[in-house]
């Protein structure tokens, strides 16, 4: 085992070492090594000074006597993962070399840090573990997806992702509009811009990279004043400008708000941002109305606990029966469940007398009988494999469409 593992982060594997000089981002700043970035995460009050330190030893001096971040012992693993993911996302060469280590165990052998590495064969080796995890992500092509999710704090709640419009415009030599187009971006947390035809916004200028930049909805505090919308340079050669100012670093989120102009590379085309907050407000108002209805229902139950108990008992004693023959009637349901308990009611949607939509609701005299009925789930009935589940699992099906006749 010791001959197949990599435990000396030097020579051809020096890029794995925390002190290896390379660009690494943390909290909107770019540092000169992973160790610099980790010190900045641990001692946030001197992060700017650490970013300016030329060497690791100088960075460590800046942190002397400073207070650690709150709950650092609890937060350090998450911070290290984000810093490591940033380091490898920035470098195609690092990702390639990490992948080429195959399935060899990565252990950071060192003299004094048994948490991130191993000292004389003993230690938690958390750095090595994270490196191997990222290596696995590179191998299964999920590394970028996880970087965006963890480092960029992608917003997953659709209500908090307002539609974005990019008003593309190109002017001729006289300043007149030569070309214009509106790109409507919604239904996702990310939208790429670049030459690839698969990008949400395709830009063909020679200075534009295949995947040049990405617009994203984020929960990060970076975009708290721009409605959670930001843009990030994806390591392009020609750069990116927002509001007439060139974005200094790639792989660092830049907030964008309505009215901002985006330029890719040296192209003269502009993309003016419009964030449709009215759509977001409508969704939030609709969600609020639904919550109020739920609160009213809870209040009604609290005001009349006896009725609430009866209602709960009815729900517990009711089952949903699906995949029925369209000709199935109440008598058929009574026969199907005759050994389960007393059937109080059989209800077909729309007040029908048959299962014209392929399902019905059956209410028993007790929750125990309903649970026994659920034991028939998957049984054959009239040449159909019926579905029997608690009715609470199928709320909202009263107006749905039935299933087809065949299996």
Q: pLDDT tens digits for 231-286?
A: 999 999 999 999 999 999 999 999 999 999 999 999 999 999 999 877 667 777 77
Contacts of 166 (CB under 8 A, 6+ apart): 182, 183, 185, 201, 215, 262, 271, 272, 273, 274
Question: What local confidence, expressed as pLDDT, does residue 300 receive?
Answer: 67
Task: For strands 359-364 and 343-347, give the pairing.
Answer: antiparallel
Distances (CA, A) of 356 to 200, 318, 390, 404, 406: 44, 20, 21, 10, 14
Domain that holds residue 333: 308-399
Of 151, 181, 202, at which residue does a domain stop? 151
> Do 239 and 331 have their domain in common?
no
Number of domains in the chain: 3
Of 278, 294, 321, at which residue does a domain stop? 278
Q: How far apart are CA 26 and CA 89, in angstroms?
A: 13
Confidence tier at 405 by pLDDT (50, 70, 90): very low
> Do 182 and 90 have their domain in common?
no
Q: What is the average pLDDT across 48-59?
A: 97
Question: What local confidence, expressed as pLDDT, does residue 397 receive?
Answer: 59
Q: Which residue has the tokens 């589940």?
A: 389
pTM given for the model: 0.69
Closest-CA residue to 218 (of 280, 156, 129): 156
DSSP secondary-structure letter at 392?
G
Q: What is the average pLDDT across 209-222?
A: 96
Buried b (16+ CB within 10 A) or exposed e, 146-176: ebbeebbbbbeeeebbbebbbebbeeeeeee
> Do 341 and 391 have their domain in common?
yes
According to DSSP, the residues that pair with 194 across neighbouring strands are 202
Question: What local confidence, expressed as pLDDT, does residue 398 receive?
Answer: 54
> Do 119 and 239 have their domain in common?
no
Buried b (16+ CB within 10 A) or exposed e, 80-96: bbbbbbbbbbbbeebbe
Confidence tier at 288 by pLDDT (50, 70, 90): confident
Question: Do residues 257 and 243 touch, judged by C-beta distance below 8 A?
Answer: no
């Amino acid at each position: 085992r010791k001959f197949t593992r990599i435990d000396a982060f030097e020579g051809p594997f020096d890029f794995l070492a925390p002190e290896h000089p390379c660009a690494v981002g943390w909290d909107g700043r770019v540092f000169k090594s992973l160790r610099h970035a980790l010190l900045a995460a641990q001692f946030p009050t001197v992060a700017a000074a650490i970013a300016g330190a030329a060497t690791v030893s100088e960075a460590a001096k800046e942190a002397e006597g400073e207070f650690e971040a709150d709950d650092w012992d609890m937060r350090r693993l998450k911070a290290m993962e984000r810093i490591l993911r940033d380091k490898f996302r920035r470098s195609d060469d690092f990702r390639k070399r990490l992948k080429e280590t195959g399935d060899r165990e990565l252990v950071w052998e060192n003299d004094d840090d048994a948490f991130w590495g191993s000292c004389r064969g003993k230690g938690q080796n958390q750095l090595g573990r994270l490196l191997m995890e990222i290596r696995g992500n590179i191998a299964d092509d999920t590394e970028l997806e996880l970087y965006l999710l963890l480092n960029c704090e992608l917003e997953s709640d659709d209500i908090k992702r307002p539609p974005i419009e990019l008003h593309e415009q190109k002017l001729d030599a006289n300043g007149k509009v030569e070309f214009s187009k509106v790109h409507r971006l919604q239904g996702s947390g990310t939208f790429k811009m670049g030459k690839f035809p698969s990008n949400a916004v395709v830009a063909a200028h020679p200075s534009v990279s295949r995947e040049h930049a990405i617009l994203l909805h984020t929960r990060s505090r970076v975009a708290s004043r721009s409605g959670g919308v930001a843009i990030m340079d994806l390591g392009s050669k020609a750069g990116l400008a927002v509001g007439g100012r060139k974005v200094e670093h790639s792989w660092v989120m830049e907030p964008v708000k309505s009215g901002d102009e985006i330029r890719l590379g040296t192209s003269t085309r502009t993309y003016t941002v419009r964030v449709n907050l009215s759509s977001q407000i409508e969704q939030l108002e609709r969600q609020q109305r639904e919550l109020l209805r739920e609160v009213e229902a809870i209040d009604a139950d609290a005001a009349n606990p006896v009725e609430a108990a009866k209602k709960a008992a009815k729900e517990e004693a009711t089952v949903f029966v699906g995949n029925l023959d369209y000709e199935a009637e109440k008598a058929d349901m009574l026969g199907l469940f005759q050994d389960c308990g007393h059937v109080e009611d059989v209800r077909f949607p729309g007040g029908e007398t048959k299962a014209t939509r392929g399902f019905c609701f059956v209410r028993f005299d007790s929750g125990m009988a309903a649970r026994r009925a659920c034991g028939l789930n998957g049984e054959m009935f009239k040449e159909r494999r019926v579905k029997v589940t608690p009715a609470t699992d199928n709320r909202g099906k009263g107006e749905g469409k039935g299933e087809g006749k065949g299996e």
